[in-house]
Chains A and B, each alone.
Chain A
Amino acid sequence: MTMPTPGDARSTAPLARFNPVAALGACLVLAAAALAARDAVTEALLLVPVAGGVLLARVGPRALARRGWPVLLGALSVFLSNALLAPGPGLAVADAAPLVLRVVVIALPGLLVATTVDPTDLADALVQRLHAPARFAYGTLAALRLMPLLAAEWRALGLARRARGVDAGRNPVAALRLFAGQAFALFVAAVRRAARLATAMDARGFDTAGPRTIARAQPFGRRDALLLGATLLLAVAATATSVALGTWEPVLG
């Protein structure tokens, strides 16, 4: 293995070295435990495995704030709507706390996996472990690669319109029409590009109906089982502790 250098497309975070299916499975376990309860103690205890995930994703506080702002925003809006709109006088912090914690426990691990796990690894793992259709998975992956190109295309289309003397000024109707026209041009450009990409992919045998191999093995090893097992254990432990303390409130019941 060569040393990673700038321009290499591989994450060095420990979380990225697990089988993505194991990482996704761990997220699902946490989400299930968080959804099953509606008390603050269980949700707070579930923050322990979530913190473990943050460590594995190797994100510092600043990077966490940068990546995690949608979760924070979601948690904040849940807090405000529940604390302010709850019946009775004053802020109903106690009512809102479990809901806020639940948002964090469910959303943060998913966000960590989504930003750490390599899309290629994810496609490989989905095809090899969960038998997702290969042509769909790799076709999606190829489309994903075109996204930054489309962003560049969008900017170029905007510049071209200005260069042709077309702008909206302060007229919102003109702005909307201009936007629609530019969006259509982008759509046309995307279709053309996709057609060319499809030709290149088919020229390399992507459309052959026969069997297909995968160069990158995505084994489900002992560490992957360990990740999944440890998450399950911590989720059960959180629930059991809460039950023992008499604080556990099932969501159904």
Chain B
Amino acid sequence: MAAEPGRPRPVAVEARGWGWRHAGRRAWALRGVDLRVAPGERVLVLGPSGAGKSTLLTALAGVLDPAAAEEQEGELLLDGVAARAARGRAGLLLQDPQSQLVMARSGDDVAFGLENTAVPADRIWPRVDAALETVGFPYGRDRATAALSGGEAQRLALAGVVAMAPGLLLLDEPTANLDPEGADVVLAGVRRVLDASGPTLLVVEHRVAPWLPLVDRVVVLAPGGGVVADGPPSRVLTGSVGTALAADGVWVPGREPAPPPRTPPPPGAALLEAADVTHRHAKGAPPRPYGVSLTLHAGEAVSVTGRNGAGKTTLSLALGGLLRPTGGTVTATAALGPDRRPLWRWRAAALAARVGTVFQQPERQFLTGRARDEVALGPRRAGVPEQEALARADELLERLGLGRLARANPHTLSGGEQRRLSVATTLAAAPAVLVLDEPTFGQDARTWAELVALLRGLLDAGTAVCAVTHDRAFVDALAGRELRLP
């Protein structure tokens, strides 16, 4: 193609004693970062959550506003030029595809960056087509961005970055919001980009294994510090550094959490009965799920699996009494509660005390400004005396390793902490049935292991647990029944 942008020149990255302190924070996000990345090198950036990995990537992309810093020190250079002045040399892909797409049509979205950098109109479309081709986007330019799956949307966002021919590709947890299928789609897209143009690559991810074939160097950052380990993956991920990383929650291959095998005890009394649950989201839409019948027993774990769009989340909402299915019913047995009406008609307080739901995105569940109040909310609403509600909250926070964060605003917690807090808030009402939607999505290895241990404890104590999940290891760890939706 005549207007092919050609191979962008890979960029050399250099950090010299770089540090950044966010406005209003006492601790440095990063400090004393010294790093040299040669043009064309592919680097995986690791570190515990809160190590400032995203801050580093945003700064390299030149979009970190100096006005948002309390203090900044050192230098960040792309090919010897300050990163903020070298805008356009770097392309940044973020975690959530839905917050990155700008336009209604796929082709227009890829063209957006080219328009902003004043590429002549007649050269834009060949470059758009080339970028869509490079990432392997399966649709035409007119495809509505609203009709894309998470993986496809992220692939399109990648095309939008690639179209600008960046010499440095910055990927900030590009698959953390995606199911394994979607993550594979994005990985394949990145691989095609690297094969096609060979830019310098910096990628931040918790899940290491899928990225190992793509990178040739691993850099480990420490919270508030600089680079603590640097070298080829085979060296950095083994030995003491690998052990420390695994302890910090990084999914180090070969050091994944391995809960001991579990033999499920015989299930107890039936608690919740779903009969022929069917749901159509709109008139004429295909029913998802279709005709699911399921009985949840005390102390029993059920994993609901199946491909995207099979109706797993809808089923979990129906089981949690949050959605009225268009067909079939979900009812409680006498062992769970006296109310014989279908679950969706129950009053919220009665529901939360018997059937608890943990959502995929924990931050939506928070209603107060402090972690302790958040956990105490359920008991308070159920009429538990103030002293006892707070005592129960403190006990739960302690048990889930959140004791020192009792006064923190739930929205300021890290992803893993938010997940644990959302579980704590649900458990505070002591429900006999717990429904979870993708509880391990985007979680680091430490949170994952803690969650498994916690759920096993609940199962042993007689709680029924029903989890919608794509996570095979999690299904195995719960060691219960699997319900696979077609």
Contact = CB atoms under 8 A, between A and B. Distances in A.
A145 B347 contact: no
A208 interface: yes
B274 interface: no
B142 A8 contact: yes
A169 interface: yes
A215 B105 CA distance: 13
A100 B235 CA distance: 81
B100 A214 contact: no
Contact of A7 (B103, B139, B357): B139
Given A2-B140, A160-B359, A213 B108 contact: no
A166 B381 contact: yes
B246 interface: no
A9 B116 contact: no
B125 interface: yes
A223 B468 CA distance: 55
A148 B353 CA distance: 32
A145 B103 contact: yes
Nearest to B355: A163
Nearest to A123: B103
Given A7-B143, A199-B58, A215-B124, A204 B367 contact: no
Given A120-B105, A165-B429, A197-B99, A208 B317 contact: no
A7 B144 contact: yes
Contact of B108 (A120, A153, A162): A120
A211 B119 CA distance: 10
Given A145-B102, A203-B61, A210 B118 contact: yes
A202 B357 CA distance: 37
Given A165-B349, A208-B117, A199 B94 contact: yes
Nearest to B97: A200
B322 A162 contact: yes
B425 A164 contact: yes
A146 to B, nearest CB: 8
A206 B116 contact: yes
A68 interface: no
A79 B118 CA distance: 53
A141 interface: yes
- Name the residue in A2, A202, A210, A215 with the highest tally of chain B Cβ atoms < 10 Å from its Cβ: A215
Contacts of B125: 215
Interface in B62-114: 62-63, 87-88, 91-92, 94, 96, 98-105, 108, 111-114
A205 B88 contact: yes
Interface in A168-217: 169, 181, 185, 188-189, 193, 196-197, 199-206, 208, 210-217
Contact of B147 (A7, A166, A210): A7
Contact of A141 (B58, B103, B429): B103
A162 B364 CA distance: 12
Contacts of B411: 188
Interface string A83-120: 00000000000000000000000000000000000111
Contacts of B98: 149, 193
Given A163-B359, A167-B349, A204-B113, A197 B102 contact: yes
B347 A167 contact: yes
Contacts of B378: 164-165
- Name the residue in B104, B124, B320, B382 with the highest tally of chain A Cβ atoms < 10 Å from its Cβ: B104
A232 interface: no
B27 to A, nearest CB: 22
B105 A10 contact: yes
A194 to B, nearest CB: 8
A8 B160 contact: no
A157 interface: yes
B298 interface: no
A18 to B, nearest CB: 18
- Name the residue in A7, A8, A200, A204 with the highest tally of chain B Cβ atoms < 10 Å from its Cβ: A204
- Name the residue in B63, B91, B113, B356 with the highest tally of chain A Cβ atoms < 10 Å from its Cβ: B63
B356 A163 contact: yes
A118 to B, nearest CB: 8
A155 B78 CA distance: 44
Interface string B371-383: 0000001100110
Contacts of B1: none
Contacts of A206: 112, 116
A241 to B, nearest CB: 42
B335 interface: no
Contacts of A217: 121
A165 B104 contact: no
Contacts of B118: 210-213
B425 A142 contact: no
A163 B365 contact: yes
A96 B272 CA distance: 62
B365 A9 contact: no
Contacts of B237: none
Nearest to A148: B146
B386 interface: no
B315 to A, nearest CB: 14
Given A162-B348, A166-B381, A197-B99, A205 B116 contact: yes
Contacts of B361: 156
Interface of B: 58, 61-63, 87-88, 91-92, 94, 96, 98-105, 108, 111-121, 124-125, 128, 139-147, 157, 160-161, 164, 317, 320-323, 347-349, 351-353, 356-357, 359, 361, 364-365, 367, 377-378, 381-382, 411, 425-426, 429
Cβ-closest 7 pairs across A and B: A165-B352, A204-B113, A9-B144, A167-B348, A205-B116, A196-B99, A7-B147
